[in-house]
Amino acid sequence: MSAVGTSPQVGAGLRLPALTITRSQIGVLLGWVLVAWSVVVAAAIVLAFGIGPVLERNAQARLVEELATRFQATQADRQLQLPQTASGLLGPSTASAPHLADPHDLTLLAPARGDAVALLQIPRLHLSQVVVEGVQPAQLEQGPGHVPGTALPGQPGTAGVVGTRTSYGALFRALPSLRADDEITVATAEGVAHYRVSTAPLGADPYAEGDRPRLVLTTSGPEYVASRAVSLAADLQGAPFAPTPRAGRDLSETGMGGQAGVWKDLVLLLEVLALVTAITIALYRRWHRTSTWLITTPPLVLLVAVAATAFSRMLPAAL
């Protein structure tokens, strides 16, 4: 008789070896998680305060081109010429832009997040920046952000603009040094609006509509802490432009918070980073070091960069 195989039967009698994790293994895993977290925090600091200003300047170069294209198209359609205030950025001009009587003369839609909407110039601060729509971290990394739902600069109502105090170029670091009657100019597709800094106090909601058109500039304070908003108002000089469509106002969008829900992505990235780091160490011990370095360095650098970006976006946008 031929023998039937001796393989173990699958059934109630089959016992699989128990998976045991020792305390030392747990300690090693937690150690790698701590190492990964420390690397990410350090990389986030370098990103916000070291590389951030370079990234902001690169973003501004792109936004300048976008804004110039929009302004030139508007000038071609309406035969408008912007005043000399904006000529250094947007090309030569000789006359003041007229105020538009009919809002339908400009085929403008409410700006989308990330769109270039205006050129902000503050002579006392030697500041000239393209303002982008939105005040989330992803927008304030590129430059000052227009608070969605508030009026566009130069139009009736309150226009809100938020800028960083210490990170990504620290654009509004010197904002508290502005004095009464200091001039602020903002160029939009409708023309150039002139403001003068006011000493009037602001309420709990600095972007609430007032009895006259104004611009509210906001940053965070104190420096490197960003525990509160620091705002000042400037009154529009002259008649406002015709209003154009604007997005709905979300009161939570103030620039003083981080990006909602990003912590979930960060936790996942830290777990993956800790795992890849542990695998890298194991390979270094058992395999050729040069080959290990070539294979593991790119994913490690990529994971650290992505995790550092996620961590930095948990911080207040106007930091």
pLDDT at 11 over 80: no
pLDDT at 93 over 50: no
* pLDDT score for 75: 60
Tell me which DSSP letter residue 198 carries: -
Residues with Cβ within 8 Å of 50's Cβ and at least 6 positions away in sequence, in order, are none
Query: Bigger pLDDT: 172 or 28?
Result: 172
Q: What percent of the chain has pLDDT over 90?
A: 49
pLDDT at 91 over 60: no
H or E element that contains 83: none
| Token pair for 148 | 């969605």
Q: Phi, psi at residue 92, to the nearest 5°?
A: -70, 145
Structural domain count, the chain: 3
Same domain, yes or no, for 217 and 163? yes
Tell me which DSSP letter residue 118 carries: E
| Token pair for 102 | 């009919």
- What mean pLDDT do residues 162-175 have? 95
| Token pair for 199 | 């000493």
* pLDDT score for 94: 27
- Give the residue numbers spanning the domain of 161: 116-243
pTM above 0.85, yes or no: no
Cis peptide before 222 (omega within 30 of 0): yes
Specify burial of residue 53 (Cβ count, 10 A radius: 0-12, 13-18, 19+): middle
Same domain, yes or no, for 123 and 235? yes
Please say whether the beta carbons of 56 and 168 come within 8 A: yes
Strand boundaries in the chain, DSSP class E:
116-122, 127-133, 145-146, 158-162, 183-188, 191-197, 214-221, 228-237
> Average pLDDT, whole number, for the chain?
82
**Identity of the amino acid at 267:** V
Same domain, yes or no, for 262 and 226? no
Same domain, yes or no, for 124 and 220? yes
Give pLDDT tens digits for 32-77.
778 778 888 999 999 999 999 999 999 999 999 999 888 877 665 4
Q: What percent of the chain has pLDDT over 70?
A: 82
Rounded CA gap, 77 and 93, in Å? 16
- What mean pLDDT do residues 119-126 have? 95
Question: In sequence order, which ranges of 134-176 are alpha helices (DSSP H)?
Answer: 137-140
> Does residue 4 belong to any structural domain of this protein?
no
Q: Which of residues 219, 243, 267 is at a domain's end?
A: 243
CA 298-299-304 angle, to 5 degrees, is 100
Same domain, yes or no, for 54 and 135? no
Residue 217: beta bridge partners? 161, 232
Q: Which of residues 178, 211, 243 is at a domain's end?
A: 243
- What mean pLDDT do residues 259-274 have? 87
Same domain, yes or no, for 198 and 125? yes
Query: Bigger pLDDT: 203 or 22?
Result: 203
> Does residue 172 belong to any structural domain of this protein?
yes
> Does residue 293 belong to any structural domain of this protein?
yes
Q: Which of residues 243, 269, 291 is at a domain's end?
A: 243
> Does residue 290 belong to any structural domain of this protein?
yes
> Does residue 104 belong to any structural domain of this protein?
no
Query: Bigger pLDDT: 113 or 15?
Result: 113
Same domain, yes or no, for 232 and 124? yes
> Does residue 56 belong to any structural domain of this protein?
yes
Rounded CA gap, 9 and 73, in Å? 78
- Asked which of 83-92, 177-186, 213-222, 308-317 is least confident by mean pLDDT, the reply is 83-92
Query: Bigger pLDDT: 93 or 107?
Result: 107
Same domain, yes or no, for 277 and 219? no
> Does residue 100 belong to any structural domain of this protein?
no
pLDDT confidence bin for 129, thresholds 50/70/90: very high
SS3 239: coil
Q: Which CA distances in Å does 227 have to 175, 222, 233, 319?
A: 16, 7, 20, 9
Same domain, yes or no, for 69 and 173? no
pLDDT confidence bin for 145, thresholds 50/70/90: very high
Same domain, yes or no, for 158 and 221? yes
pLDDT confidence bin for 253, thresholds 50/70/90: confident
Same domain, yes or no, for 225 and 307? no
Same domain, yes or no, for 129 and 216? yes
Rounded CA gap, 159 and 148, in Å? 9
SS3 73: helix
* pLDDT score for 288: 82
Q: b/e map of 134-149 (b: 16 or more CB within 10 Å)?
A: bbbbbbbbbbbbbbbe
CATH number for the domain spanning 164: value is 2.40.260.10
* pLDDT score for 95: 29
Which among 184, 192, 169, 1 is positioned nearest to 96, based on CA atoms?
192
